[in-house]
Structure 1
Amino acid sequence: MTTTSPAHTLRALPDLDYYDCRSVLLPVDITTLDAWNIMTAESGLFMRLAFRMRDAISSLFGVKRIGGFSGARRETIHTGELLDFFLVEHSAPDMLVLTERDRHLDVMICLSITARVLTITSSVVTHNVFGRAYMLPVGLVHKLIINSDLRRLKRKLEGQ
C-alpha cells in the first residue's frame, strides 16, 4: 500500500541516496510507539544474524556496533532519548522520527499514522564509498524487512 504521508526525510527526495516508503492499514488505533514496540519485540534469527554480520563488518571500518533491537518495551519516549541505537528526533502519538548518524551515512526512519494507516519512511544520505557500499545490500534487504514487520504488526493487531 502506498499513501501520501507527512513523513520527515533527511533531505528532499532528489537529494537522498536511499528512500523507501511502505504503509499498512491498521485494524485498530495505536500510536507510533506502540507500533515500534510490537515490530521490534521479537527479533527473529535472520535479524539477529544480520545485525551480528553488520557489526562485524562495519566495525572494521570504524563504525560503532549497534547490536540490533533490544525488544525492550517503552511506554514513553522523548526527543533526545535513545530508542535502541536510534536517537529520537521527534515523538508524538502519530509520528516518531528516529535517526542514526555517523561519518559514513545518516539514516532517518519516520513512523507516521494518519487515518489508521501506518507509514514507515526510510531515508539515507551517504557520505563516502563505505556508506554507498553498505547501502547496496542493506537497501535491498531493508524493503523485505519492513514488509515483514508490517505484515507481522497487522497480524498481531488482528489477533487482539
Structure 2
Amino acid sequence: MSTIDSRDMIGPREALAYYDSQSIDLPRAVTPLEAWNLMMAQPQPVLRWAFRVRDAISAWFGVRKIGGFTGRRHTEVKVGDRLDFFLVEGVRPDALLLTARDRHLDVMTGLHTDGTRLTVTSSVIVHNLFGRAYMVPVGPAHRVIVRVMLRRLRRSLMEAG
C-alpha cells in the first residue's frame, strides 16, 4: 500500500507553505512513471502559456527559466535523473518523488500508486518574500491544473480500453 509520509514531502508538514494531495481511481493500475509519462504526453495548452509567463516574470528576480514540460517519454528513471525541470529524488515501486529547488523555494511533487488509485502530492517550502508572492497565484492554479491532469489521465485510460 502506498503511504504518503514525511519522506514524500519537501519538509515537515508544519514547515510547509503549500501542501496539496489529490487522488483519483483509474480504470487500470499504472506505475508512477507510467502515470507521469501519460500525464505529460500532451501538456495542456494553458500550461505552456503559464510557464512562459512564469519564466518571463521570474527572470526579473534571477530565477532560471524552466520552460515547462516537454512530453518526452521515459522508460526508466533513477535517483539523480531529470524529468524536465524536476530532479528525481526518489523511486519506489509505488512512488516517484520529484523536486525543484532554488533560492526562493523548494518543491517536491510525488506520484503515488496503490492498485488503481493514483495520488499526486505537492509540497513547498518558501525561503523569502519572492517565494511567498510566487505561491499566491501558483498555489490555487496548481490545484486546478493537477485536478484537470488527473481527470484527463483517467479519461485517456478509459478511452484506450
Q: Residues 33 and 93 of structure 1 are in contact (CA less than 8 Å); yes or no, is this contact kept in structure 2?
A: no
Q: Identity across aligned pairs (percent)?
A: 50
**Alignment of structure 1 residues 8-157 onto 2, 5 Å:** 8-157=8-157
User: What secondary structure is seen at the aligned counterpart in 2 of 1:159?
Assistant: helix
Deviations 1:22-43 (A, max 9, x none): 0001110110000001111112
- In 1, Cα distance between equivalents of 2:109 and 2:19: 10
Q: Secondary structure at the match of 2:120?
A: strand
Match of 1:6 among 4, 7, 29: 4
Instruction: Give the residue type in structure 2 aligned to 1:41.
Output: A
What code does the residue aligned with 1:6 have? I
1:6 Cα deviation from its structure 2 partner: 2.2
Q: Which whole-Å CA distance do the structure 1 matches of 2:47 and 2:21 have between them?
A: 20
TM-score (norm 2): 0.94
Equivalent position amino acid for 2:4 in 1: P
Unaligned runs of 5+ in 1: none
Runs of 4+ in structure 1 deviating by more than 2 angstroms, as ranges, are 4-7
TM-score by length of 1: 0.95
RMSD across aligned positions (CA): 1.1
Contact 2:29–2:117 at 8 Å: present in 1 too? no
Distance 1:47 1:34 in 2: 20
What number of residue pairs does the alignment pair up?
A: 157
Cα distance in structure 2, aligned partners of 1:150 and 1:111: 11
Tell me how far 1:45 sits from its aligned partner. 1.8
CA distance, structure 1, for counterparts of residue 76 and residue 130 of structure 2 = 35
Unaligned stretches of 5+ residues in structure 2: none
